[in-house]
Structure 1
């Protein structure tokens, strides 16, 4: 689907690489909370995180392509894309991570007894899931705003080199 949307193997590859890199953030988030990586809840966290990462990168790359179509140079388009998408990406990631913070630290509310409970047995399985998503999301935000535009620029330089060589020009 990504290949159909962007008509570029490299841009689809860039999105997939962001997913792989964001798994490092998942592992870092679990390490910071002292939780092991469980296949079930950690895996569900990785899948949920992949959806958010793909969405952020699709929006970023689509903005980049739109700016390039208006006649901007690839460097200027990458810089403007990062500037335009900075606030939406940070707000989306920040609100998600802050919303997951009570689950990450294991806090729940017992409505029947009207008390806040820390470390309740019902929270134990959700801590791993929320740690995976929150940690991976904070790491993926940096990837989306810095590494993805850098990879797009690398793709442009590679494309320019190969088209220059095809035309008989040596760069």
Structure 2
């Protein structure tokens, strides 16, 4: 299987589990992030930080790392072709 197809297959296979776990945690932290309830204003910054971290980690996991992997593989192939010539 070509690398690009393998990356696309892996991303589509992992999309649902990564999004479901991230979104359920974010929804669970939403009342805390809004500062609802007693003492919520103290813990709201922590909840917002966790939500931001989950958002960025989902983005990095699903888009950035596979793209970076493909980029490095293309560079390696290019160097390999130049070395053969």
2:75 pairs, out of 158, 163, 169, with 158
Report the counterpart of residue 44 of structure 2 in structure 1.
127
The structure whose RCO (Cα within 8 Å, separation 6+) is larger is 1
TM-score (norm 2): 0.87
Q: Is the counterpart of residue 86 in structure 1 residue 54 in structure 2?
A: no
User: What is the CA deviation profile of residues 15-38 of structure 1, one whole-angstrom value per residue up to 9, with x for unaligned ones?
Assistant: xxxxxxxxxxxxxxxxxxxxxxxx
In 2, the alpha carbon distance for the partners of 1:76 and 1:103 equals 41
Question: Does 2:13 match 1:96?
Answer: no
- Per the normalisation by structure 1, the TM-score is 0.46
Structure with bigger strand share is 1
**Stretches of 4+ aligned residues off by more than 4 angstroms:** none
The structure where helix makes up a greater share of residues is 2
Contact 2:34 2:40 in 1 (8 A): no
Unpaired stretches in structure 1, ≥5 consecutive residues: 1-71, 109-119
Query: When the two structures are aligned, how many residues end up with a matched partner?
Result: 85
Give 1:137 shift.
1.4
What is the correspondence of 1:131-150 to structure 2 with a 5 Å cutoff?
131-150=48-67
Q: Aligned-pair distance for 1:163?
A: 1.8
Backbone CA RMSD of aligned residues: 1.4
Matches within 5 A, 1:1-171: 72-108=1-37, 120=38, 122-166=39-83, 168-169=84-85
